[in-house]
Each structure stands twice: as structure tokens, then as C-alpha cells.
């Protein structure tokens, strides 16, 4: 059988041109070698969003992380939203999970066919297939975290929603947190807090399949002892008096205290990054309660069996 001749130029492709080989000891720890940057300590003050026009303020560390889009950690992007009365904003990250906390203000939200009202102190969990449309009734500020950097790294687009838009009303969240604080055994626990959950994620008991959201109290004079986990923590300080702070470091001494710690002094409206794997402890040296919200990628880490949370 005679095949027809192929005419025209033929461009050969070398399928091995991208292949590389490394000696193990020189490649097994790219973080230690500086090829993969460590997650930096970072602070984002209230001044970024406490006044001015309506806007989205990404807490962007992408240049330090070598990410190609706004990112606060390798898999998450935290943001502040300022939305003045009667203004609107559309959000459509390529994300599977979005969590909002309403710092103050009130308004309405639409996501596909879902409509809900929000006010100060409520939490909202959203998937990402549809556009989120926000409209403020009063001057409003929100803390907002999504997982678009994770999808960007994987080179994928969301194709289906894993859960429905879910509202966690402020009064219910406050009630549940107060019940935890008033429990006679509260003082024996490592922390006084509640975790937001969703009935679709019983296996991880997290607010979405990727994100974890905790709402906690640090009582007057209390110390939340050193602990660590492999998920990044994007911490937001809801309210606090003077004398509240976090100590962060990579090692413990023989007495279980953090060696050569970095101190992060709290102020209301502050957001800060606690890198994964770092020991951290929260202190309240005042006479009033302090409130904080850590949002983490611990839903994903729990599913991967890699969260590895430890306490001293």
C-alpha cells in the first residue's frame, strides 16, 4: 500500500525538551533552598478600608509568594471590602469557596437565585459558580476570603457548586459563642471558640470543603497556649482592648514556650498572616474580652489528612 507523500514543511517537536532531572538532596527541599518562598509575616491595618470610596482591597502578597495573581497565601486571598451606602459591587473570582464576615453595616446579597440580607456580625459562605452582587444599605465593611489562588495554581476552573449560599446570622453566632464561653469546662480547653460548619461537609466539619472559619474569645487575663497547624491562618481581630497580642515563632523551648518569638500587637480591624507550621500563642493582658476570626485552608488540609494541629 502506497501512502500519499506529505508536502510542505514539517516541524518536529522535541517531547523531551522540558524534562529535567535533579539529584535528590539538591531538590527535595525547595523551600529551604529559597526556590519556593516562605509565607511572610504580614499585617494589614484598619486604615486600608476605614474610609474613602467603595472598593475591594486585596491583601496581596503575590510578589513575595511568586504567585501570578493577588494572593495572601499560596491557596487563599483575603480582602477587605468597603461599600458605602447605596453602592453596589460584583464579585466573581474563579473560586470554589468564599467566606465573608460583616465588620459593620448592612445590605443585601444576590447569588444566582438566592437573595439574603446581611448586617453587622453575620458570616456568609458562598460557592463560586455565579456572580455575587452586593448592595449596601448603610456604609459597610467586610472581611472576605476566597480560594482563587488555589484554582489558579492547579490550572482549573470551577465547574459546579459544592454547597448552597449559607447565612450564619450574627445573633446566632454570638449566642453559640457565649454558650461556649459560659460552659463550666471552658477554662480547661485550649481555646474558647466555635467553628462554622455546613451539613454538606460532615467529614471535615468546616464551613466549606476548603475553608475553615473560627469565631473565638480570648478572656481577660487569658493565654491561649502555643499551638501550630499546617494550614495558613488569615486572622482578623473583630474587637480588642489594649494589651492583646500574638507571639509567633518556629520553635519551642524546654518549657513549651515559643523561642525568639515575633510579637503581633492587636488592634480592632487588623488582619494578619500566621504562616503554616509556626507555633503561635494569643495573650490578653487586659480586663476585657477580645474577639478574633481565623480563616484557614484547613478544610482542604483536613481532607488531605495533613492538618497536623498540635498543642503544648
CATH number of the domain that 201 lies in? 2.60.120.10
pLDDT at 4: 58
Element spanning 68, H or E: none
Integer CA distances (angstroms), 134 to 41, 117, 181, 255, in order: 31, 10, 33, 50
Closest by alpha carbon to 132, among 171, 170, 79, 62? Answer: 79
Residue 228 falls inside a structural domain: yes
Residue 232: domain span: 36-304
Give the cell for residue 50: 476605614
Residue 191 falls inside a structural domain: yes
Above pLDDT 90, what percent of the chain? 90
pLDDT at position 10 over 80: no
pLDDT band at 186 (very low <50, low <70, confident <90, very high): confident
Class of residue 184 by CB neighbours under 10 A (exposed 0-12, middle 13-18, buried 19+): exposed
Give the cell for residue 189: 480547653
pLDDT band at 12 (very low <50, low <70, confident <90, very high): confident
Give the DSSP per-residue string, 5-47: PP-S------TTTT-----GGGTS-TTTTTSSPPPPPEEE-GG
Residue 6 falls inside a structural domain: no
Q: Buried (b) or exposed (e) across 24-60, using 16+ Cβ within 10 A?
A: eeeeeeeeeeeeeeebeebebebeebeeeebebbbbb
Residue 249 falls inside a structural domain: yes
pLDDT at position 45 over 90: yes
Q: 233 pairs with which residues across the strands?
A: 274, 296
For the chain, state the CA radius of gyration: 22
Above pLDDT 70, what percent of the chain? 96
Number of domains observed in the structure of the chain:
1
Rounded to two decimals, the pTM is 0.94
pLDDT at 188: 81
Give the DSSP per-residue string, 187-255: GGSS-EEEE---GGGTTTTSSSSS-EEEEEEE-TT-EEEEEE-SS-EEEEEEE--TTEEEEEES-B-TT
Residue 78 falls inside a structural domain: yes
Residue 221, SS3?
Answer: coil
Residue 31 falls inside a structural domain: no
Give the cell for residue 192: 474558647
Of 32-41, 168-177, 210-219, which range is least confident? 32-41
pLDDT band at 159 (very low <50, low <70, confident <90, very high): very high
CA distance 23 to 13: 27
Residue 309 falls inside a structural domain: no
- Positive or negative torsion for Cα 68, 271, 292, 122: negative
CA distance 259 to 1: 78
Element spanning 138, H or E: none
Residue 27 falls inside a structural domain: no
Give the cell for residue 206: 468546616
Would you say 233 and 212 are in contact if contact means Cβ atoms under 8 Å apart? no
Average pLDDT, the chain: 95
pLDDT at 1: 55
pLDDT band at 6 (very low <50, low <70, confident <90, very high): low
Closest by alpha carbon to 212, among 312, 132, 97? Answer: 97
pLDDT at position 11 over 90: no
Mean pLDDT of 39-59: 97
pLDDT at 174: 97
pLDDT at position 101 over 90: yes
Mean pLDDT of 95-124: 98
Closest by alpha carbon to 95, among 133, 131, 141, 134? Answer: 131
Residues belonging to the chain: 312
Would you say 239 and 268 are in contact if contact means Cβ atoms under 8 Å apart? yes
Cβ atoms within 10 Å, residue 197: 18
pLDDT at 189: 82
pLDDT digits (tens, 9 = 90+) for 76-85: 999 999 999 9
Mean pLDDT of 174-193: 91
pLDDT at position 261 over 80: yes
pLDDT at position 238 over 70: yes
pLDDT at position 257 over 80: yes
Amino acid at each position: 500500500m502506497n501512502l500519499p507523500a506529505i508536502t510542505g514543511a514539517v516541524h518536529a517537536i522535541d517531547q523531551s525538551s522540558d524534562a529535567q532531572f535533579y539529584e535528590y538532596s539538591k531538590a527535595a527541599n525547595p523551600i529551604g533552598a529559597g526556590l519556593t518562598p516562605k509565607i511572610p509575616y504580614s499585617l494589614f491595618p484598619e486604615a486600608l478600608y476605614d474610609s474613602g470610596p467603595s472598593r475591594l482591597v486585596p491583601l496581596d502578597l503575590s510578589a513575595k509568594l511568586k504567585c501570578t495573581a493577588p494572593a495572601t497565601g499560596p491557596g487563599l486571598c483575603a480582602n477587605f471590602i468597603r461599600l458605602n451606602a447605596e453602592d453596589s459591587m460584583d464579585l466573581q473570582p474563579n473560586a470554589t469557596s468564599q467566606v465573608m464576615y460583616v465588620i459593620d453595616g448592612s445590605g443585601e446579597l444576590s447569588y444566582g437565585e438566592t437573595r439574603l440580607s446581611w448586617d453587622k456580625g453575620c458570616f456568609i459562605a458562598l460557592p463560586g459558580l455565579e456572580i455575587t452582587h452586593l448592595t449596601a444599605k448603610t456604609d459597610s465593611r467586610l472581611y472576605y476570603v476566597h480560594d482563587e489562588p488555589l484554582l489558579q495554581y492547579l490550572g482549573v476552573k470551577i465547574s459546579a457548586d459544592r454547597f448552597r449560599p449559607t447565612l450564619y446570622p450574627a445573633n446566632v453566632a454570638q449566642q453559640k459563642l457565649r454558650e461556649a464561653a459560659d460552659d463550666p469546662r471552658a477554662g480547661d480547653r485550649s481555646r474558647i471558640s466555635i467553628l462554622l460548619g455546613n451539613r454538606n461537609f460532615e467529614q471535615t466539619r468546616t464551613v466549606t470543603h476548603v475553608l475553615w472559619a473560627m469565631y473565638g474569645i480570648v478572656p481577660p487575663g487569658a493565654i491561649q497556649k502555643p499551638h501550630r497547624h499546617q494550614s495558613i491562618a488569615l486572622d482578623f481581630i473583630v474587637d480588642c482592648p489594649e494589651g492583646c497580642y500574638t507571639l509567633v515563632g518556629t520553635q519551642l523551648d524546654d518549657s513549651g514556650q515559643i523561642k525568639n518569638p515575633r510579637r503581633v500587637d492587636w488592634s480592632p480591624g487588623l488582619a494578619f498572616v500566621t504562616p503554616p507550621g509556626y507555633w503561635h500563642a494569643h495573650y490578653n493582658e487586659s480586663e476585657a474580652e477580645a474577639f478574633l476570626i481565623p480563616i484557614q485552608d484547613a478544610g482542604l488540609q483536613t481532607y488531605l489528612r495533613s492538618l497536623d494541629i498540635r498543642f503544648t
